[in-house]
């Protein structure tokens, strides 16, 4: 009877503990703020949320961020209960957030994507040593910790998570770089294949890049856009040199961007994949990314591949149908107009993220269900798991851009006897979305979700070439990188090339749950990427095109995982602008960052049939 009474009395408490809301967090956690000293004497501001229940030891989960560990003040709590990461509180983790060096309330000087130094001497620091010193202090000074530490972070914090793995602190057992910044010239955030991602770069650095002379809890203000229509603002502002004038002289990283237009040593040193071979076999890594991430899709795929090839640790990857960081939000059922048939974010949190950290930090449960590659296939709308990535039974098939807009498996005829052409006019660039959008609402739907946007608006333009298959008689699944191999000729000395892979839905398509958007005939962007033509041979040493001379432009698009269903069509679109997400090319060989408005010229672009191919990663 007494035992039954005890169980009965505990039941309400147990049930209540499962509802992690603001009251539960305050009642069950304490918040402390610390200034943690680094080896060179600089102190980093750190917020620690720790369970009040010290009946058992607790693991530490750490995020290092340039975006603030706000709210500041030990009586004000982060609203963790609003998102899926509340699971860490349910599990009794010590939850730690740290302002990185030189940002917000931390001391020191901030340096963007500060390079890892493999040959440090004395008290020299980098992000690996700052991570090491932070972890070392936490395990020695935070009561009731179990000596095990995990690190995770999304986007820029994903970069810091990667560098934390370089620290090899013995207490560090598991690291999850998520949408990690890895390479700011070839594929992440601010450049893709050398082309400058103008809208993101200007909007971000006009605020984030402002100097912070001393620690503060007050963030910088961003640029006040004088025109609400974002497309119109960027077009009227004109050349990148005009944006430099608007930016002013105080934002150091913008000046670095403008001073390094090519892939020189400055960018090569800031490649976060460069030294992953130093990661200890004792540190497990889980790389996470979004198939439709507008910012760091490249980083997730390529960091995983780099660790896999260079390090000797337990390394896994998860790629879901998400925009930037969407897996850390409550709703993963859709992206823009396209539905996934389930809450993929919830599935990830319950089946991947929490079990991963519980296993390595709490010695709890199993990770048998987390395979080497855990990939969601859009189109089929299903998770699939593989023993490796790229997949063994992958076959690269070459498909040709043909006459009359055809797209079919390539034959042996690759002569230059026929072509399509269009006029690329920088004064009338191809937009990256179909309607008016406002920068003041960033991050708005279109900025985050144009990666699966309906491309019908672009297909109707005369400066966009369209090639498509007949209606597919069977499902066709792609799993891996796409290679565009174009044979082109220009009336100018430079141009950009945007290649888009599109899933054309049947004319009568509709979702069972309904949609506010006309989905019949929808042209879903599966993958799009840009190549700045002058870098076709080398990112370090650009070269001009010879006018009207047939020239090969070959480049790789980030991996895809998509099934083109029976009854759909597969489409390729080719264009030479993607504005204003990408800056306009003057279509003259020059340093584009120094171009003036009068330097922008029209160019006639020819794409030769059959000699221009797209290699597709077909899963058999």
Cβ distance 472 to 548 under 8 Å?
no
Q: Both 449 and 313 in a single domain? A: no
Per the DSSP assignment, residues forming a β-bridge with 69 are: none
Q: Both 458 and 594 in a single domain? A: yes
Of 251, 269, 287, which residue sits at a domain end? 269
CA distance linking residue 394 with residue 301, whole number of Å: 17
Per the DSSP assignment, residues forming a β-bridge with 358 are: none
CA distance linking residue 115 with residue 126, whole number of Å: 7
Closest by alpha carbon to 322, among 302, 300, 344, 347?
A: 344
At 81 the pLDDT is: 87
Distance of CA 88 to the CA centre of its chain: 23
Strands 284-290 and 172-178: parallel
At 445 the pLDDT is: 44
Q: Both 434 and 562 in a single domain? A: yes
Q: Both 195 and 176 in a single domain? A: no
CA distance linking residue 125 with residue 529, whole number of Å: 36
Of 269, 300, 318, which residue sits at a domain end? 269
Q: Both 363 and 285 in a single domain? A: yes
Q: Both 538 and 612 in a single domain? A: yes
Q: What dihedral do alpha carbons 586, 587, 591, 592 form, nearest 10°?
A: 30
Q: Collapsing DSSP states into helix, strand and coil, what is residue 13?
A: helix
Q: Which two tokens stand for residue 59?
A: 């693991």
Q: Both 28 and 132 in a single domain? A: yes
At 415 the pLDDT is: 80
CATH code at position 471: 2.60.120.260
CATH code at position 294: 3.40.50.1820
DSSP string across 423-460: EE-TTSPPBSSSS--BGGG-S-HHHHHGGG-B-HHHHT
Can you list the positions of beta strands (E) in 28-128? 29-37, 43-51, 58-65, 94-99
Q: Which two tokens stand for residue 569?
A: 């069509």
Q: How many structural domains compose the chain?
A: 3
Averaged pLDDT, groups of 10, the chain, 620 residues long:
34 48 93 98 98 96 98 95 93 98 98 97 97 98 98 98 98 98 96 96 96 96 91 96 97 98 98 98 98 96 98 98 96 95 97 98 97 98 97 95 97 87 98 76 55 96 98 98 98 98 98 92 98 98 98 98 98 98 98 98 98 97
Q: Both 493 and 416 in a single domain? A: yes
555 Cβ contact partners less than 8 Å away, ≥ 6 residues apart: 193, 483, 484, 497, 529, 531, 536
CATH code at position 215: 1.10.3020.10
Of 269, 290, 309, which residue sits at a domain end? 269
CA distance linking residue 586 with residue 296, whole number of Å: 26
Closest by alpha carbon to 465, among 578, 315, 576, 331?
A: 576
At 438 the pLDDT is: 64
Q: Is 215 exposed, middle or buried (0-12, 13-18, 19+ CB in 10 A)?
A: middle
Domain span holding position 139 = 2-183+270-386
At 12 the pLDDT is: 37
At 514 the pLDDT is: 86
At 3 the pLDDT is: 34
Q: Both 556 and 581 in a single domain? A: yes
In SS3 terms, 565-588 reads as CCCCEEEEEEECCCECCCCCCCCC
DSSP string across 476-532: EEEEEEEEEEEEEEESSS--EEEEEEEEE--TT---TT--SS--TT-EEEEEEEEEE
Number of H helices, E strands in the chain: 15, 25
Question: 138: part of which helix (H) or strand (E)?
Answer: helix 127-141
At 19 the pLDDT is: 77
Q: Both 264 and 275 in a single domain? A: no
Cα dist from 358 to 60, 142, 374, whole Å: 11, 19, 18
At 413 the pLDDT is: 76
At 447 the pLDDT is: 57
Query: Residue 73: left (phi > 0), alpha (psi -120 to 50), or beta?
Result: left
Q: Both 207 and 70 in a single domain? A: no
CA distance linking residue 461 with residue 438, whole number of Å: 23
Q: Both 175 and 102 in a single domain? A: yes
Can you list the positions of beta strands (E) in 38-186? 43-51, 58-65, 94-99, 145-154, 172-178
């Amino acid at each position: 009877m007494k035992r039954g009474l005890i169980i009965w009395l505990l039941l309400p408490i147990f049930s209540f503990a499962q509802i992690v809301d603001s009251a539960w967090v305050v009642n069950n956690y304490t918040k402390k703020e610390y200034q943690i000293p680094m080896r060179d004497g600089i102190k980093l501001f750190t917020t620690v949320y720790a369970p009040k229940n010290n009946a058992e030891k607790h693991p530490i989960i750490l995020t290092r961020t340039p975006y603030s560990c706000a709210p500041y003040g030990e009586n004000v709590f982060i609203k963790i209960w609003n998102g899926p990461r509340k699971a860490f509180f349910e599990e009794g983790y010590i939850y730690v957030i740290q302002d990185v060096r030189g940002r917000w309330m931390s001391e020191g000087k901030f340096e963007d994507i500060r390079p890892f130094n493999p040959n440090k001497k004395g008290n020299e620091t980098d992000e690996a040593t700052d991570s090491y010193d932070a972890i070392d202090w936490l395990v020695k000074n935070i009561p009731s910790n179990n000596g095990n530490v995990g690190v995770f972070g999304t986007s820029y914090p994903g970069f810091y998570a990667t560098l934390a793995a370089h620290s090899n602190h013995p207490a560090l057992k598991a690291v999850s770089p998520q949408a990690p910044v890895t390479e700011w010239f070839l594929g992440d955030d601010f450049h893709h294949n050398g082309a400058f991602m103008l809208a993101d770069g200007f909007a971000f650095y006009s605020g984030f890049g402002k100097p912070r002379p001393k620690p503060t809890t007050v963030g910088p203000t961003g640029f006040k856009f004088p025109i609400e229509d974002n497309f119109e603002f960027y077009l009227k502002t004109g050349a990148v040199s005009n944006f430099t004038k608007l930016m002013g002289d105080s934002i150091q990283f913008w000046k670095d961007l403008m001073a390094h237009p090519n892939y020189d040593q400055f960018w090569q040193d800031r490649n976060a994949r460069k030294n992953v071979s130093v990661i200890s076999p004792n540190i497990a890594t889980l790389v996470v990314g979004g198939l439709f991430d507008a910012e760091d899709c490249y980083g997730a795929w390529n960091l995983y591949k780099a660790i896999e090839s260079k390090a000797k640790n337990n390394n896994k990857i998860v790629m879901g149908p998400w925009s930037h960081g969407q897996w850390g939000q409550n709703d993963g059922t859709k992206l823009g107009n396209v539905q996934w048939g389930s809450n993929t974010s919830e599935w990830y949190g319950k089946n991947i993220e929490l079990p991963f950290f519980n296993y390595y930090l709490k010695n709890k449960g199993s990770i048998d269900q987390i395979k080497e590659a855990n990939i969601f296939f859009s189109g089929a709308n299903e998770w699939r798991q593989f023993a490796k990535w790229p997949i063994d039974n992958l076959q690269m098939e070459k498909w040709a851009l043909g006459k009359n807009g055809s797209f079919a498996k390539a034959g042996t005829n690759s002569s230059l006897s026929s072509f399509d052409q269009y006029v690329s006019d920088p004064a009338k660039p191809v937009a990256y979305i179909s309607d008016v959008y406002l920068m003041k609402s960033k991050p708005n739907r279109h900025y985050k979700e144009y990666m699966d946007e309906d491309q019908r608006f672009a297909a109707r333009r005369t400066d966009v070439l369209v090639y498509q298959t007949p209606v597919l008689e069977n499902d066709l699944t792609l799993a891996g990188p796409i290679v565009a191999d174009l044979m082109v000729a220009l009336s100018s000395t430079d141009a950009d090339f945007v290649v888009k892979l599109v899933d054309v839905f049947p004319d009568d398509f509709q979702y069972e749950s309904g949609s506010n958007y006309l989905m019949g005939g929808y042209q879903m962007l599966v993958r799009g990427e840009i190549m700045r033509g002058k870098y076709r041979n080398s990112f370090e040493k650009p070269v001009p095109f010879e006018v009207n001379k047939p020239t090969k432009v070959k480049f790789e698009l980030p991996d895809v995982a998509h099934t083109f269903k029976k009854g759909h069509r597969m489409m390729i679109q080719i264009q030479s602008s993607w504005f204003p997400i990408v800056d306009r090319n003057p279509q003259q060989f020059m340093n584009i960052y120094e171009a003036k408005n009068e330097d922008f010229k029209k160019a006639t672009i020819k794409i030769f049939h059959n000699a221009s191919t797209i290699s597709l990663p077909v899963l058999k």
